[in-house]
Amino acid sequence: MKIKGLIFDLDGVLVDTKKIHFDALNSALKSTNSEEITFKDHVNIYDGLPTLEKLRILNKKKGLNKKLFSKIQKKKQIETQKLLNKNLKYNPKISKLFSRLSKNYKICIATNAINKTLKVCLKKLKIEKYIFSSFSNQDVTNNKPHPEIYLKCLIDMGLKPNETLIFEDSSHGVMAAQDSGCHLFTVKNLSDISYSSISNFIKNLMKDKKQSN
């Protein structure tokens, strides 16, 4: 068994967009005079989920009117794009890392964000040319924590779960990665994503595999 593919989540793994999604959602909620959420709740409950799923939870927890869902979603998308364009900066370390990794691995991006957000992030990071394929929440029927998006990546790359390593940070993403059967690298901070940490992780995986055989 050899690792041949790497699948990266986007938010919290390659870009720090927690605050952007938090601010965009609250701005959209405020525009409809709906109750805003706290940053603590955003991190503990809503992080890594698509907007519609966040609104469904708000409907259950705080009685958010379902008739406002469409309006809030549209406003949230507009605000997210604005904040991404304003705050997301090119990171030469990520670009260099992907340049190196793409020489030995197929790379896929799998995010619960919409396609527009995915494209803006890849463009800002300048890593499009190193990516084998990428999928957003609009490319699947079931979003994370369902593993569908990861299974889609595997089919597209033509790889088996034991040949693939997933990088995830949120609890919903981790659940999806585990259910896909792939190997999992749990990201605590953006600084975890480096060539040495990824290489060492893969080396240890291979070592553990040999010892268990």
The whole-chain average pLDDT of the chain stands at: 94
- Sign, CA dihedral 41-43-48-50, equals positive
pLDDT at 1 (0 to 100): 75
Reported pTM: 0.88
- Supply 86's token pair: 């304003």
Q: What is the percentage of the chain residues whose pLDDT exceeds 70?
A: 98
Instruction: State which H helix or E strand residue 101 sits in.
Output: helix 92-101
pLDDT at 57 (0 to 100): 96
pLDDT at 166 (0 to 100): 98
pLDDT at 212 (0 to 100): 67
pLDDT at 213 (0 to 100): 56
- Closest C-alpha to 120, from 85, 149, 92, 86: 85
pLDDT at 193 (0 to 100): 96
DSSP code for 91: -
**Mean pLDDT per 10-residue segment, the chain (213 residues):** 94 90 95 95 88 95 95 95 91 96 98 92 95 97 96 98 96 95 95 96 86 64
Q: Are 110 and 149 in contact (CB under 8 A)?
A: yes
Q: How far, in Å, CA of 208 to CA of 162, rounded?
A: 13
